[in-house]
Structure formats: C-alpha cells, structure tokens
Amino acid sequence: MSTADPLQGIRPAVRGEQGGPTTSPSLAPAVDTSAEHWDLHAVVAGLHAVRSRWRDAQGRSRETGGREFPSREALARVVEQLCAALFPMRLGPADLRQACEDFYVGHTLDAALHLLLEQVRLELGYQARHAGEDEELARSRAAGLVRAFAATLPEIRSVLDTDVEAAFRGDPAARSVDEIVLCYPGIHAVIYYRIAHRLYELGVPLLARIVSELAHSATGIDIHPGARIGNSFFIDHGTGVVIGETAVIGNRVRLYQAVTLGAKRFEVGEGGGLAKGLPRHPVLEDDVVVYAGATILGRIVIGAGSSIGGNVWLTHSVPPGSHISQASLQHVEPGKARPAQ
C-alpha cells in the first residue's frame, strides 16, 4: 500500500529541455527531499497529537468550518493599506499624483475595510464561541463596528499630524516633516498604535494586539493598544520602549529609547491567577520628558512638566515640575522630588 507524500504539490520540479521533469546529475545525489528521508509522516502525526491535546485542554472544537481567529498576514495588509490612505503622498505608491489622490484613498480604503470586516467577524465569532454566546449574532455587529472605525480615520490623521509636528520640533536632526513620516520608527509605531487603540476601544482587542505587535516587530517599540496617549506624542530613536496596557500619557510627552512604563506588582485574582485589567502602569501628565533607559513602574503619577533622567529607576510619584536624576534620587525620600530648577 502506498502512502501519500505530504510534500506532494509543494516540492518544485526541475524541468528539462522538453518541459518534462529531469534530475541534475550534479545536484540530485546531494539533495534527498523524500518524506521518508525526514520521517515526516511521524513528525506530522506527532504534531497532530499535540494539537489535539491542546484543543481538548482548551475546550476548542475540532472543526469550526473555517479559520477560527484573525490572520496576522491579513491584518498586515490592512494596516499597510490604512497607512497609505492616511498618508497617500508619503506612504502610498511611488507614481501617485495629487490629481488622483482622493480616488486612490477611496479605492485603498474600500479594499482595507472589506478585509478588516472579515477579520472583525472572525474575532467577534471567536469571542462569542468562547463565551457561549450566539456566534452569528456577534458577527452581525461587524459591519457597524468597521463603519465606526472608518468614521474616525480623519480624527486619527489629525492627531497623527500633531505627533509628526512634535517629532519635528523635538529633534534638531529632522530636516522636514516628510522625513519624519518616511524615516522615523517612532512615528511608524505611533501610527500603528493610533489604529490599534481605536480597534481596542471598539471591542476587538485581539485585532488591536496583533496590529501593535506588527509595529513591535518592525520597530522594536512595544505599545500596548490599551494605553491612553494624548496629542503631540514623540518617541525619539525608539528601540526598546515599552508602554504597558493601563499607562496614561498626557499631551506633548516625549520619550527616548529604552524607556519602560511598566507594572511594579501584579494582583492575584480569585482563581489564583493574575487579575486582568487593573490599573498598574504609570500616569504621565502633560509636557513630561523621559530620557533614555529610564524605568518607571507602578500606578504612580509623574507631574506635568517634569523630566526624568536617563537610567533612572522610579517607583514613586513626583510633583509637577520635578527634575529627577540618579543623583537626586539618592537624596530624596519616596513621595518627594527635587524642586524644579
């Protein structure tokens, strides 16, 4: 009895002069891609068994009739198209001209929103299935949710303009606002964050988290979509910045590379696991600057107009106008801060 080759239809064939498959005498002996060589049948069977155990333990159905949850690949296309629609002459196609800008934006948005609609339906169905609710009823909300998201795109673009202007004002190396949009990873991370945060607010947190992780992978900047961030926000350099789920950031705040706005401790819930959603990250009021490598932990408040020096480790609130450095922390009691200079 012959066994089906799991690689059949995938392995490329080498064609001879007459179009038929052939084998190169110099290459064939060195490359054996048969399933038997790798014992793929045993590997595939083993992976199947592990998946089955996981699904049984998680209460997952074996057959849902299609994909169960959203696609990272599809969302990458959605966000790329949304970025191009938000900044068509900068992030759109190279041959785009202003005369057809609106047509391009409309066409691109239509494609992006239709693809987003399918992903929203998947997440809403996923949520309902695991909550024991009606999946079809949940999916019926998808079109209204995507329509609401689309309606906020002009507002998102308007806020992003303040972010771009803040970056231009805050970096003496920047030659133009166009350079900011085209080159600065901090701005790209913030664009993705503004999109992800709106999806998070609309009730599709898995989609939002995937979008934020796409930015994280591309820029090294990790902004949870649940964080609340005001206008004119600028992350300079950016690599290694972490902003937690319940962080609150005011207007005109500037962060430098390797800054962490994290949690100091985690509350334990009733079942013994970590409690979800509790406020545990810092609040940065307006006009705060946090320099490279600073770590700010816990639900503390950094008062308006304060500056936090490089590599500072801070776990207590500071009043407005504070200037905190490693040296000053050695002489300050918790809850107090060095007076403004």
Kindly state whether residues 198 and 147 are assigned to the same domain.
yes
Kindly state whether residues 279 and 195 are assigned to the same domain.
no
13 has a pLDDT exceeding 80: no
48 has a pLDDT exceeding 60: yes
* In contact, 108 and 89? CB cutoff 8 Å: no
163 has a pLDDT exceeding 50: yes
The DSSP 8-state label assigned to residue 130 in this structure reads H
65 has a pLDDT exceeding 80: no
Return the CATH number at 299. 2.160.10.10
pLDDT at site 329: 79
| CB-based contacts of 44, cutoff 8 Å, min separation 6 | 6
Residue finishing a domain among 155, 189, 220: 220
Enumerate long-range contacts of 296-299, CB under 8 Å, 24 or more apart: 296/259, 296/260, 296/261, 296/262, 297/260, 297/262, 297/263, 297/264, 298/263, 298/264, 298/265, 299/246
Kindly state whether residues 199 and 298 are assigned to the same domain.
no
Kindly state whether residues 209 and 334 are assigned to the same domain.
no
Kindly state whether residues 143 and 92 are assigned to the same domain.
yes
pLDDT at site 273: 81
CA distance 161 to 271: 45
Kindly state whether residues 83 and 191 are assigned to the same domain.
yes
333 has a pLDDT exceeding 70: no
CA distance 112 to 104: 12
CA distance 245 to 229: 11
Phi, psi of 297 (to 5 degrees): -125, 145
Mean pLDDT of 168-172: 96
Q: Which residue has better confidence, 269 or 308?
A: 308
**256 part of a folded domain:** yes
pLDDT at site 32: 57
Q: Summarize pLDDT for 88-139 with one digit per residue, the tens.
A: 999 999 999 999 999 999 999 999 999 999 999 999 998 998 888 988 898 8
* In contact, 238 and 257? CB cutoff 8 Å: yes
- Tokens coding 273: 């696991």
pLDDT at site 14: 45
pLDDT at site 47: 94
How crowded is residue 248: how many other Cβ atoms within 10 Å of its Cβ? 17
- Using CB atoms within 10 Å of the CB of residue 338, give its burial: 0 to 12 exposed, 13 to 18 middle, 19+ buried: middle
26 has a pLDDT exceeding 90: no
What is the sign, positive or negative, of the torsion defined by CA atoms of 137, 139, 140, 145?
Answer: positive
266 has a pLDDT exceeding 50: yes
CA distance 78 to 330: 49
Q: Beta 242-243 vs 289-290: how paired, if at all?
A: unpaired
* In contact, 204 and 123? CB cutoff 8 Å: yes
Kindly state whether residues 79 and 133 are assigned to the same domain.
yes
Q: How many distinct helices (H) and strands (E) make up the chain?
A: 12, 14
CA distance 174 to 191: 18
* Number of separate domains in the chain: 2
**31 part of a folded domain:** no
pLDDT band at 79, cuts 50/70/90?
very high
Kindly state whether residues 254 and 162 are assigned to the same domain.
no
Kindly state whether residues 336 and 213 are assigned to the same domain.
no
Per-residue burial over 36-72, b = 16 or more CB atoms within 10 Å of its CB, e = otherwise? eeeeeeeeeeeeeeeeeeeeeeeeeeeeeeeeebbee
Kindly state whether residues 82 and 209 are assigned to the same domain.
yes
pLDDT band at 267, cuts 50/70/90?
confident
Return the CATH number at 157. 1.10.3130.10
What residues make up the domain containing 263?
240-267+274-341
CA distance 298 to 279: 9
**17 part of a folded domain:** no
What separation in angstroms does the CA of 209 have from each of 59, 75, 200, 258? 23, 11, 8, 21
**38 part of a folded domain:** no
The DSSP 8-state label assigned to residue 339 in this structure reads P
54 has a pLDDT exceeding 90: no
pLDDT band at 340, cuts 50/70/90?
very low
**235 part of a folded domain:** no
Kindly state whether residues 153 and 92 are assigned to the same domain.
yes
What separation in angstroms does the CA of 170 have from each of 165, 219, 254, 287? 8, 19, 8, 12
Query: pTM of the entire structure?
Result: 0.82
Q: Summarize pLDDT for 203-259 with one digit per residue, the tens.
A: 999 999 999 999 999 999 999 999 999 999 999 999 999 999 999 999 999 999 999
Kindly state whether residues 284 and 174 are assigned to the same domain.
no
3-state secondary structure 59-127: CCCCCCCCCCCCCHHHHHHHHHHHHHHHCHHHHCCCCCCHHHHHHHHHHHHHHHHHHHHHHHHHHHHHH
**201 part of a folded domain:** yes
52 has a pLDDT exceeding 50: yes
**228 part of a folded domain:** no
12 has a pLDDT exceeding 50: no
Mean pLDDT of 143-150: 97
23 has a pLDDT exceeding 50: no
**130 part of a folded domain:** yes
